[in-house]
Copies of this chain bind each other. A is one copy, B any other.
Amino acid sequence: MTTALHETAEAQACCAPLVAAPISPADADALARTLKALADPARLRLLSLVAAHDGGEACVCDLTDPVGLSQPTVSHHLKVLVDAGLLTRDKRGVWAYYALVPDTLDSVAAALGTQLRS
């Protein structure tokens, strides 16, 4: 409960393509919050590692070494990504498995892209 109140998965980062019409302050804030979660090299690598891992999921122990950060730091980054609705957390036994939420990433991409696709 550090700050935010956007606990888990609000999915829709925004709406219109951003370049079509002026974005509303509220939408800008929501989109910026999701982008802030993405705007970190370690978190981008974690997201990529999780997505590319076997079965589309990975536990913390799979991620600590590749990114070269301490376990608390990796857990912190993963929490940020989960809170932003970019990852899901599934605790099975002793391990916590993280998996990608493709919709969130796609909605961000759609909000940024200028050439809209069907």
Mark A residues whose CB is within 8 Å of B: 18-23, 25, 28-29, 31-32, 35-36, 38-45, 47-49, 51-52, 66, 100, 102, 105-106, 108-110, 112-115, 117
Contact = CB atoms under 8 A, between A and B. Distances in A.
Interface centre among A31, A42, A112 (most CB of B within 10 A): A112
Contacts of A18: 44, 47-48, 51, 105
A32 B115 CA distance: 22
Contact of A44 (B31, B38, B51): B31
Contact of A39 (B23, B39, B45, B48): B39
A87 to B, nearest CB: 12
14 contacts: A18-B47, A18-B48, A18-B105, A19-B100, A22-B48, A23-B45, A32-B39, A32-B41, A102-B114, A102-B115, A105-B112, A106-B113, A106-B114, A117-B117
A23 B44 contact: yes
Contact of A112 (B19, B23, B29, B108): B108
User: Which of A29, A36, A66, A113 has the most B CB atoms < 10 Å from its CB?
Assistant: A113
